[in-house]
Chain A
Amino acid sequence: MGWSLNRIAFIVWSLVTFSGALLPAFIIANIGRIVDQIASGISAGRDFGDIRNLILILGSLWVLQNLYSVAGQFSHRQLLNHFAPKMHKRLIEALDGVPVRRFDDPHFNDLTSKARGASESVTYFTMYVINFASQVFGTAGIFFVAARIRWYFPIVALLIMAVRFVVDQSAGRQVMDTWNEIVPLERRKKHFFYVNSKRNPAKDIRMLQLTDWFAALRSRYAKELRDKMHRIHVLRNRGQYLSVALDVVFSALAIVPSLIMVYARQMTIGELTMTWQISERLSGQMNSLATNFFGVYQHLADLKILKELLELCMSDERLPMIKALGHESVSNDPEPKSDNVFELDNVSFVYHGEHEALHGITLSIPRGQVVALCGENGAGKSTLVKIMLGLYSPTSGEIRFEGHPYGELERDYLLRKIGVAFQEPDRYNYTIRECIGFGNLAKLDDLAAVKEAARKGGAAEFIRDVAHDNYEANLGRMLYRDGLELSGGQWQRLGVSRAHIGDRDVLVMDEPASQLDPIAEYEQFKAVREMVHGRTAILISHRIGFARLADRIVVLKNGRIVEDGTHEALMRRKGEYAALFTSQAKWYADSEADGDTPGDQMPEAWAPAGDGLGGDVPGRDIHGSAVPDGDASDSTRPGGDAPGCAVPGGDVSDSTTPDGDAPGYAMLDGETLCQEAK
């Protein structure tokens, strides 16, 4: 893989490493020559000048060696510098085109979670490979010098190396097996280690006193791990004993005959010095080779992960449901071919793992209709929405947007037409403007549009309070020291704002208020009601009351549409919707209105109380107030405000009653929610 990335740095580095590997051989040879000269020089009456030159040459060789090593390190770092980002880039490009469905595959997710670490590993893999190769080269150089002294030196060395290699390999394989047992153990131990510093488990751990219990678990795993590692070492050692013995044999074979030959004047002292140095060098070289080889092996596993991931990414279904903006881009949006915004014909969808999430869905949503999708958890609402947004393609059936089959549409056509507030919206650690603007990239730089969207999404107020209306403020302290920390509700409102930016004709709101308190929730629902007026919209919420904002309610159960009608019609039917509605509504029914089905009548509690102050209600000592100084008869707010009068957020009395609202709406609009006490 390395050769496809930054060829120049790679080639330079390889050349440098290879040529540098030869230097030690030259140095050894040079020293040998010096030794001979000074040994004989005394008696032969030589001029020191020659020796001096040899020493200077030696010095230059050392400097050259250093130059090589520094240049080697330099290009090695350069390579890393350029290589790693290229790997990331490859990964990004591959992943960006992967359809959403892939991410439901646990095996795929397992691979992606390892991908980032693995990509660093690939760089090291390449390093080890090159190091290994260059060392082989260097060893060859040493062999060459050795052969010039005695022809059989390299052969003996090779034999010994071969034996060592074979022994190392078999030990290595056994090591690998044990290693495979170790990895999951290590992971589990690490889990119970890291869990102590994570934020989510922190309360559990303290309330249930889990620290010691986890410690005991870890201790067990740790003991097991130590035992296994011990075994690995023992296994490895078996091969090593042999290596040590062979090393010694080799050294003996090198030195003893050399001594004899010097004695017999068949070898000079210089040559003996070289022999000695070579045998030293070769031992060292063989050890490094083994280490490098092991390094290559280790990172091979990571390489496999990346390879598999990239293959999965490039495989079938590469194109998302909607084709990407390509060469055949249509400059004008296609004319709507139908009055129906969404049309689904007998759509079915099967999740990875053959669990059928949707079955035979046939649904048409005409322009301007507001539809609420209801159903229990797991009924298929989210899946249906994802299909309608083009994130999934149905496993069977057809789907059309404004009469055009999805396959014919451009990727961001839907984005231009539909504003979406996703359930559990993403928390982008970028600027506020970007966090909202991401909902419609075309308007990312349009600050006015962003502000407008913030207003509609209910985020403008806290942006003013927390960020002083600075839309370039950074969110989240993780990436920026001065980043703003937001609450769940605030993030949610930013997510909802993403739906509103750009004033699109179609809106999809999935749980836009799940993290908000009652009053903020009410404000949000009110805002939504205002926004969907005149638009086509799909609304989803567990707060069944939300459904009353809609013209039409579609109920899903076990992946099928079981009911479809208006609120009144479905309530009369007393089916699934009625059950869902009642199960929530009954908790709001006034106890005095027992016997009447909720939904029919206005509960008594709504009638504005006469004087607003706690009357003579039996049972409790404190009459509905909690003023710390115990003054029961006065206002509820310690600040002395008129009881319950401050209206949060917008001005309730201003809102106009929408046309054709169901009974019960009028209650709130045009009427203050509080009463001034007197």
Chain B
Amino acid sequence: MVTRADMYERKITFREVLESVKLAFKYLATAATPRERVLLASLYLLAAAAPVALSLLNRYIVDVASQLYDSADRGLLFKAIWIMIGALLATTSIGVLSLLLNPLRDTVFRTASDKVEEDMAKKCGTMRLERFHDTQFLDHVQFLMGTILGQMTGMTTRIAGIAMSVASSVGVLALVAGTAREVGLVMVAGIIPCVLLYRKQANIQYEEAYWEMPNYKRINYALGMFTDRVHVNEMRFYGLGDTIYQKWQNSTDAIVAERQALNLSLSFYNLLALVSMDIAMTVSLGIIAWRVFIGDASVGVFTMMATAIQNFNETLRHISHELVYVGYGAKYVSDFRHLLQDVESEVMLKGDEPVPDEVEIEFKDVHFRYPGTDRDAIDGVSVKFRQGEKVAIVGENGSGKSTFALLLTGLFAAQSGTVEFNGEELMSCLGKARKSISCVHQEHGQYQLSVKDFIRIGDLYRDVSDEEIAQAARTAGADEFIRKLPNGYDTNLGTLGEIGIDISGGEWQRLLLARALIRKGARVMVLDEPTAALDPKAEARLYSEFSQLTGDRTTILISHRLGITRVVDRILVFDKGRIVEDGNHAQLMKLNGLYARMYRAQAQWYV
């Protein structure tokens, strides 16, 4: 998949634009019932026909007026007035119709947009976790997330507008050419340089946007240093204000300079294009005026032409302008299409089966490497876990502990070797496996949910009562601080920052633990650094309650705090992606290897 920078670099092919347009309209079509589609289409058709109708009406009026002026025919006057009123009423009804259909149009576009949102969210939410470790890919996906809705809607709106404009232009041109062929030719001749010049402009704009991107990000980053709370301590103490301001200034200057040059060249080409049309229009009107002058055409023809070609000019400009954006937007839609088609989602097989009572997990010579790295993060690991084992995983940073946990839960897929869940390949029973495992990770989402719901989502497979939630919170030691929140369990976590409440890292960890506990049916628990943010007393409490918390579940615990290894049956020591030691505390201390060294490094303070 492409990165954000690539997106600006590559030129989009016509075929891709076509595919993108098709996709955009597919969403639109599915958002409207057939009857609604017809209604909306007719609306656009009417709008397209308007300029032609208007020009014809114009001609009629002026011709009739000149007749009236010459002949003073009363009957003609009344006829003209009636026709006029009729035309105005027709305009009114179209106007009213358009207004009536406006809410419908808006709803249809919104529904289409919501559907795009659905597909985008679903893809992001189900793509494999490895993708989140590919920084450039993730950056691009996040960028698409923020832009695709606007671009998709924009594209459909624009294309509809362009189609309408093209239809009306063709109509007007036909009218003009039908009346005076040479004028038609002159107009067409005037279009050609216009189109060429607009294309030139479009290319310039693409290149400029690409160039700007990195600087724009840097400007935003620098600004963020001043606006965001997280930086303020260091910004103030280290006195970084002037330095960061300078960085902002440099990037801004660069952008301003480029934009200035761009502005000049764009304006120049724009003016040329417009002037070429002006020349065509002037010549055309000259021809018509001559015709009228020598009596070859009526005065009405002149006013009709005047209106028509001015209208034609404006529509043309509109089309060229919009086409630029269509090409631009098509890139986004194309990337979106590739994202949906090419990026694989997790397949949650066997999610309906009941969770087995006994779970055995086995790794068989598993290898895994992060995208873009040149070394296996898990380099041939084989190990078996039986139901009920309490296992601690220790090792240096980067030794593979967390990666191992991710392979165990199927969040990562083994690249060679297998992970087996009760003898079955993990990837072919992912649904069942995930149901059986309950986790506390180091990174977690802070959702805009009530505390209750935040804990409740720990087990979406059944109905969880409020009482159970409170019980889990009590066990996890979270009940106390929850009760102190403004709305207790109904407090919305996402909005806490807005009303001045901060939940500390330790409190979050307790909430996560409560959520993990709510999954009563889980047979395996994976805890990744569950005490990292806790103070000594809170940490100690967790350790002493460890067996109550974990019950008879198989527990995999990753920790830097080696004290925990006292309450587990088994310790796995990771080093450079392999398990290098495996035993209980006493055994490993006797072994006097890596574990012993780490343990002594920590323990020596507590003599």
Contact = CB atoms under 8 A, between A and B. Distances in A.
Contact of A204 (B96, B406, B441, B497): B441
B597 A673 contact: yes
A230 B103 contact: yes
A636 B580 contact: yes
B14 interface: no
Given A196-B125, A213-B457, A31 B68 contact: no
Given A226-B107, A263-B77, A517-B395, A587 B599 contact: no
Given A584-B536, A609-B592, A256 B602 contact: no
B413 interface: no
B238 A438 contact: yes
B199 to A, nearest CB: 18
B121 A214 contact: yes
B95 A247 contact: yes
B378 to A, nearest CB: 12
B160 interface: no
A584 B65 contact: no
Nearest to A495: B234
Interface string B222-243: 0110111111111111111101
Given A116-B223, A226-B111, A520 B396 contact: yes
Contacts of B387: none
Interface in A416-463: 420, 422, 425-426, 429-430, 438-441, 444
A643 B234 contact: no
A587 B543 contact: yes
A159 to B, nearest CB: 19
What secondary structure prevails in chain B residues at the interface with A? helix
Contacts of B289: 34, 38, 48, 51-52, 55
B374 interface: no
A527 interface: no
Nearest to B492: A188
A581 B606 contact: yes
B299 interface: yes
Contact of A544 (B66, B274, B605): B605
A624 B585 CA distance: 9
B103 A196 contact: no
A81 B74 CA distance: 61
A376 B110 contact: no
Contact of B110 (A59, A113, A225): A225
B223 A518 contact: no
B607 A628 contact: no
B110 A425 contact: no
A388 B539 CA distance: 28
Contacts of A218: 114, 117-118, 121
Nearest to A648: B396
A499 to B, nearest CB: 11
Interface stretch (A14-22, A234-242, A327-335): A234-242
Contacts of B322: none
Contacts of B504: 377-378
Interface in A218-266: 218-219, 222, 225-226, 229-230, 233-234, 237, 240-241, 244-245, 247-248, 251-252, 255-256, 258-260, 262-263, 265
B interface, size bucket: 35 or more
Most buried by A among B84, B129, B282: B282
Contacts of B303: 31, 35, 273, 276
B465 interface: no
Contacts of B274: 63, 66, 69-70
B592 to A, nearest CB: 4
A38 B302 contact: yes
A269 interface: yes
B234 A614 contact: no
Nearest to B348: A209
B460 A208 contact: yes
A105 B187 CA distance: 64
A478 B293 contact: no
Interface string B327-356: 000000000000000000010100100000
A110 interface: yes
Nearest to A481: B5
B500 A478 contact: no
A271 to B, nearest CB: 10
A277 B62 CA distance: 12
13 contacts: A52-B286, A78-B263, A88-B252, A112-B228, A191-B448, A198-B142, A201-B447, A265-B72, A272-B62, A542-B534, A542-B536, A588-B599, A625-B591
Given A77-B263, A256-B85, A444-B243, 13 more contacts: A38-B299, A55-B289, A62-B282, A91-B226, A196-B125, A203-B443, A211-B121, A213-B457, A477-B135, A516-B560, A518-B560, A584-B536, A606-B604
Ranked 10 nearest A-B pairs via Cβ: A545-B605, A201-B445, A587-B563, A59-B282, A644-B593, A664-B607, A211-B125, A522-B601, A583-B540, A585-B606
